[in-house]
A and B are shown apart, each in its own frame.
Chain A
Amino acid sequence: MRFHGLSRTAYLTLAAGLLAAAPASAKTISVSANTPDANEKLQEALIMAVSGDVVELGAGTWKLTDGLSLDVANVTIRGAGTDANGSILDFSDQQGAGEGLLVTSDDVLLTNFAVLNTKGDGIKSKGADRIVYHELRVEWTAGPKETNGAYGIYPVESSDVLIDSVFVRGASDAGIYVGQSKNIVVRDSFAIENVAGIEIENSYDADVHDNIAMRNTGGILVFDLPSLPMQGGHNVRVFDNIVKDNSTPNFAPKGNIVASVPTGTGVLVMANSRVEIFDNSFEDNGTANVMIVGYRYPYKDETYQPLPRQIVVWDNVHGKAGFAPGFPGGAEMAAAMGGAIPPVLWDGSGNAIVNDDAGVLSLNLPDVQTPQSEAKPSPVDLKDSAPAPLPGITLPASMEAKVK
């Protein structure tokens, strides 16, 4: 190949294109909120995009009546910002679809825009491997309300998930919810005034770190539930997070599992194995900073394992906690213990190691069939030698490159 006659800039551009391995046809499709049929044009852009393309949202507000969707691999949706002057996808008048934006293709980057007031979930990605959520805002702007949508950011059934520097507020279930997925990183994000700030459910291999979870009902949840295609959640590390003042009364619609989360919960582990909770800063969580429990509901699923196992807690900083336990009998327990229960609460099922310099209260309910009303709370020492730590998550380099 000869480059004589090409300018240096053109040469560099070409070289950069080759380095990025983008198809020759890769292009930027710019869309504006301020044109006739802006909504259809936006959805058409998401359909007509081909691998390597960037769909660029201009600054402005799209008032959407229907859900948007992307089903083309290796496409970026890039906005002009997440604040009021940025790119706003406003679903306040939504009439159809279960979410605001649905992604069903691999290698997608979503960055620098906001999704507001969806009737159902905010942004969902299903079977979308190597998805990157970066610098996004998903918010129900009136704050906590039972009529808000369930999940803010909702990747499910995916391998390699990165959620980086997002802001979520007001979800009536979980602000950031990762379900039935593998190899997950949730970092540098801010979850405020949701029922659950961040939830990892029925998933394998996750790092949740350097996030702030505050004023939710529960800050960070690690759950495993029965009767789902993927279960046996394990290998989750929760570290370097600030988890504070999770004091919002539970506003989840009843029936959902998070509706049972007591107000004032910091980190809650239910029926997982190999969960590590370390180097977090906890403060002002009225029920407990850390709760470790079994799945205490009837179920018909012989393969399901309802107990928490090998949960390891160390080197966390515990501020004030346990002063308003939000479960039946909790107030009496706190009163009997001088105004507050210890910051770590264990229902007594499965097994856990707590090497924090903090008290642990066991409810002494080793069998998940025993009703909570039969709790016999007593302080317990769970200090023990910990197993070798989990190795941590490494994502494909192509994903990390997208947020550099």
Chain B
Amino acid sequence: MKRLAAALAAAWLCASGGAAVPLAGPDQTLIDGDTMPRKLSEFGLFRAGGAQLVDGVTPYGLHTPLFSDYADKARAIWMPAGTRADVDGEGRIAFPVGTVLIKSFSWAGQNQGKPVETRLLIHRKDGWAALPYVWDADGHDATLAIGGRRVPVSFTGPDGTKQAISYAVPNKNQCKECHAEAGAIVPIGPKARNLVFAPKWKAFESGRFGWPANRIAPLPRWDDPESGSVAQRARAYLDVNCAHCHNPKGSASNSGLFLRWTDDPAGVNYGIGKRPTAAGRGSGGMAFAIKPGDPDHSFLIYRLESLDPGIAMPELGRGAVHKEGAKLLREWIAQMPEGKNN
């Protein structure tokens, strides 16, 4: 009798993992397990046959997002019922085991705006797992691409120029290169100071998030002058686009260039008057990462405006130059009083 029950349970699990069976909601057993399902639909995070989220999977936004080749990014979170995320005094969120962070990448001009890629960050009991899925051409489902892939993508940039790029879906290891903290995978985007509390999100987090006593001030929006000065917005941009590697426990720890929101923006480790370390061609013949008052002789700008893999920063996930982001950083450096250089 016991055996029969086990067999039935197993059959039920198999069925619930199959794409053909309509799902009531996310498959928590699969989420909590240690497998890497071949098809995205197996998780039950999306409605069958497309990229519509199922009920209970909640979209969220960020004040300042990571630039990803001008992709439109749809972010969402799943937390199992009855679980809770605690936010510490610095705004870091301890998501419970069973959480899934979902990010889908699309471009208005690409396959009628259907997503090209969806990345999952799954909190399993032995840590976070990062899985990249590439959507099939018909947009019905997406397939695991642990080895990464290049996808030709065309779009019109915000300045009206048409661009055709080779978009790089990261491989599983590359996911970790950006998401690494002391060698383990951690989420980057959803920090309390960067989360946008839209109405739907408010309803979602209500009662599920434990907040610290202190208020967490929101990060400025990089492109909204109402939200902060040029310097504040530039620092928000650097925090979101660079600091996941450029921190003492990140993939660029050896560079000594640390660009977190919490780092001292006057310090040499923030790049001001900092000479290149292991930069190679990234120095562009310049002496300093940031030369106050002189963006044209600041190789931080040179690297952001390059597409050459031996020069470009970030090293991963950038097949287009973020002109508007570089413009903001240029303004910030141009405004810095000269002579701050040592």
Q: A residues touching B (Cβ–Cβ < 8 Å)?
A: 39-44, 46-48, 65-67, 69-71, 94-98, 102, 104, 118-121, 126-127, 146-147, 149-151, 154, 156-157, 172-173, 177, 179-180, 225, 227-230, 253-257, 297-301
Contacts and interface: CB of A to CB of B under 8 A. Distances in A.
A66 B172 CA distance: 13
B221 interface: no
Interface stretch (B11-19, B21-29, B141-149, B323-331): B141-149
Interface of B: 145-150, 166, 168, 171-174, 176-177, 180, 183, 248, 251, 253-254, 256, 268-269, 273-288, 299, 308-311, 315-316, 319, 342
Nearest to B169: A66
A84 to B, nearest CB: 24
B168 to A, nearest CB: 5
Contacts of A254: 283, 285-287
A104 to B, nearest CB: 7
A307 B315 CA distance: 34
7 contacts: A66-B168, A120-B309, A173-B280, A227-B256, A255-B286, A257-B275, A298-B342
Contacts of A179: 254, 278
A126 B254 contact: yes
User: Which of A46, A96, A229 is packed against the most chain B CB atoms within 10 Å?
Assistant: A96
A256 B268 contact: no
Given A65-B150, A229-B248, A255-B299, A121 B280 contact: yes
A370 B108 CA distance: 60
A95 B168 contact: yes
A105 to B, nearest CB: 9
B278 A69 contact: no
Nearest to B280: A150
Contacts of A156: 254, 278
B35 to A, nearest CB: 13
Nearest to A106: B183
B265 to A, nearest CB: 14
Contacts of A46: 173
Given A95-B166, A97-B316, A126-B254, A225 B278 contact: no
A67 B282 CA distance: 17
A299 B85 CA distance: 44
Contacts of B276: 255-257
Nearest to B255: A228
B277 A225 contact: yes
